[in-house]
Amino acid sequence: MHIDYFDAAHTELLQGINLIEASAGTGKTYAIAMLVLRFVVEHDLALDKILLVTFTKAATEELKDRVRSRLAEARRLNAGEPNKGNDLTVINWLDQLDIDPDVIKQRLELALLNIDQASIFTIHSFCQRVLREHALESGQLFDAELTDDLSSIKQACVDDFWRKEIYSRTQWQVAVLTANYATPDALLASINVITDGMTVYPEHEALDDALQALERLVNSAKDEVVVYTTAIQTSFNDEKFNGSYRDVFEEQMPLLTAWLLGNITQVPDANSLALFTSDGLVGGLNGNKFRASKTQTSAERKADYVASLAINTTPFDDLADAVQHVTLVLRRTLLETLRAELDKRLQQLNVLSFDSLITRLSEALTGDNGEQLANELRGRFAVALIDEFQDTDSSQWAIFSTVFGVESHFLYLIGDPKQAIYKFRGAAIFTYLDAQKQATHRFTLSKNWRSHPQLVTAVNALFQRDNPFILEELAFHPVEPAKSVSDGELRNSNLGLDSDVLAPLVLWQLSDPEKGYWKKPAAEQEIRVTVCNEIVELLTNDYRLQPKNQRVQPKDIAILVRSNRQAQDYQNALR
């Protein structure tokens, strides 16, 4: 489908599903406020007929402020007052309207008078409002209590699960199932980070089947373990294996053998399970004994030697994975049980959680009274604007598309598809792509109003390659800079005039280590030292931000890292 540039003031307001792709800094919130203004004036809609949905309470307040400001600005300009800023969008829009100024004034004043009745919700507050106001159609009990603390209910569910799935099994199976998570609390904590919108792997599998598959591998391995142990011990005499492998072998082999033979139930650790794997054997060989020759590489010589031991590594290769697979199946089984049981118990207690708000409304729209409920919501809201749409999961999209994704309604989805890859936010990239396919019209905001022109150009160049986000459907659309070249420059006043402007985008490559390869802790330390030194340089020398020529301050600098631990390390390094 062709993608058009979206002009917030002049693009025709179209019925159907309108997808507006808005990169960071391109004026997404500005465009939303302009859409509200236009629907109020051009379509004579009351504010409460325009639904705005975003994903945080803070964002709802910001949207309300932006809408209020835009309505007030339009009222001032419509009354003939001078334009206070450089933005001519609203005044140009007013000039092309074929509506009597007195009518415009009346509509704007009514909207401002009713600004507190504006239908601006988070997704959860919207679902809660619908379930409460349409209890009969949704099948929801009246006066349901909303809670964000499900800990006691979850604990009861997992305790029941533990009694059913763990206590009833053999001692050997219990040891396998509790090898990684020894208590109900630990098992529950392992799945608490999983949200309803996430795709969970592996696919559904019965826990009994996973245990039986592991037992078959154990039986295959135990038939060979004594013979293989003798073969390896013999090879120790000519030092074919390195000292580390030999130490682990001598310490762990008795435990692995005893477990395979059923003499103990304690599951061996990963080092033990890897002793007879192909990777474990090759990795344990003494490199000095297998140097490259004229005809073979070191790796080829090692592979030939392992083959000469006549050890069938297949059951051992699969064994460690199978032990972990049982744990994954156990966690998935708990997750499935918890989702089903939690909803059942919440209904029994007449309690709603934030996640169940979405689930209940989605189910209500597909139930017996679903069409009636959808029609009532369409009558309630003539327009729906969904902010931060890339954070929408499949259940949320099912609600919006079912109710508002019809030809007679205006549905605007505004978001940045590039941010739909952020799983930690609950985003679901395939939900976005599904909406993209269903969209009647697709637009993009083409100007970046936030960043320096040279930075915009650099980012455009960085992503100008085929499928930069892997998926063909997730394209990168270059944006144009809206700022002037001098706005946002970083200058070093100690340099000459021709060379004092710093590059807006710099890519650093880790230097070669003194020997061997970088190990992760050392690499992290090297990067951290380099970053901190650069920050000290920016703060202690005469670097100035334009256009106000202000010295760089700590508040001007951000460091993005992958974890809280790394953030703490940087804080400590900078103190």
Task: Quote the radius of gyration of the chain (alpha carbons, Å).
Answer: 31
pLDDT band with cut points at 50, 70 and 90 for residue 528: very high
Q: Do residues 356 and 364 touch, judged by C-beta distance below 8 A? A: no
Tokens standing for residue 239? 């030092």
CA dist 299 and 293 (Å) reads: 11
Amino acid identity, residue 123? I
CA distance 467 to 507: 21
What is the pLDDT of the chain when averaged over all its residues? 88
| Closest-CA residue to 288 (of 248, 235, 249, 242) | 242
Distance in angstroms (rounded) separating the CA atoms of residues 348 and 361: 17
Which residue stretches of 223-313 are H helix? 225-235, 243-260, 270-273, 278-283, 298-308
- The per-residue pLDDT for 373 is 95
Instruction: Provide the residue type at 73 as one letter.
Output: E
Q: Would you state the pLDDT for residue 546?
A: 84
Q: Count CA atoms closer than 13 A to 44's CA, side-chain side.
A: 4
Mean pLDDT score, 348-370: 86
- Predicted confidence at residue 199, as pLDDT, reads 67
Share of the chain above pLDDT 90, in %: 48
| pLDDT(552) > 70 | yes
pLDDT of residue 281: 87
Q: Which tokens hold the place of 78?
A: 């419509």
The domain spans of the chain are 3-138+353-445, 151-214+322-349, 225-311, 453-483, 490-574
Q: Distance of CA 456 to CAs 6, 236, 505, Å?
A: 19, 61, 9
Per-residue b or e along 404-436, where b marks 16 or more CB atoms closer than 10 Å to that residue's CB: bbeeebbbbbbbbbbbbbeeeeebbbebbeebb
Burial 506-540 (b: 16+ CB within 10 A, else e): eeeeeeeeeeeeeeeeeeeeebbeebeeebeebee
Tokens 């090898």 locate to 179
3-state secondary structure 349-377: HCEECHHHHHHHHHHHHHCCCHHHHHHHH
pLDDT in tens, 366-402: 999 999 999 999 999 999 999 999 888 888 999 999 9
Rounded to an integer, what distance in angstroms lies between the CA atom of residue 465 and that of residue 439? 25
Answering whether pTM is above 0.85, one says no
Locus of tokens 């930690």: 424
Predicted confidence at residue 429, as pLDDT, reads 78
Q: CATH number of the domain at 3-138+353-445, please?
A: 3.40.50.300
Q: How confident is the model at residue 558 (pLDDT cuts 50, 70, 90)?
A: very high
Helix (H) or strand (E) holding 145: strand 145-146
Greater confidence (540 vs 87) lies with 540
**Is the per-residue pLDDT at 523 higher than 80?**
yes
Count of other CB atoms within 10 angstroms of residue 245: 21
**pLDDT at position 424:** 47
Strands 447-448 and 351-352: unpaired
- Are the C-beta atoms of residues 78 and 149 closer than 8 Å to each other? no
Three-state DSSP at 501 gives strand
Q: Are 490 and 552 in contact (CB under 8 A)?
A: yes
pLDDT, average across residues 463-478: 81
Task: Using DSSP, state whether 52 is helix, strand or coil.
Answer: strand
Determine the average pLDDT of the residues in 326-347. 89
Q: What is the pLDDT of residue 87?
A: 82
**H or E stretch at 285:** none
Q: What per-residue confidence (pLDDT) applies to 559?
A: 95
**Cα–Cα distances in angstroms (integers) from residue 300 to residues 245, 290, 296, 304, 385, in the given order:** 20, 9, 6, 6, 62
Residue 501: strand pairing partners: 491
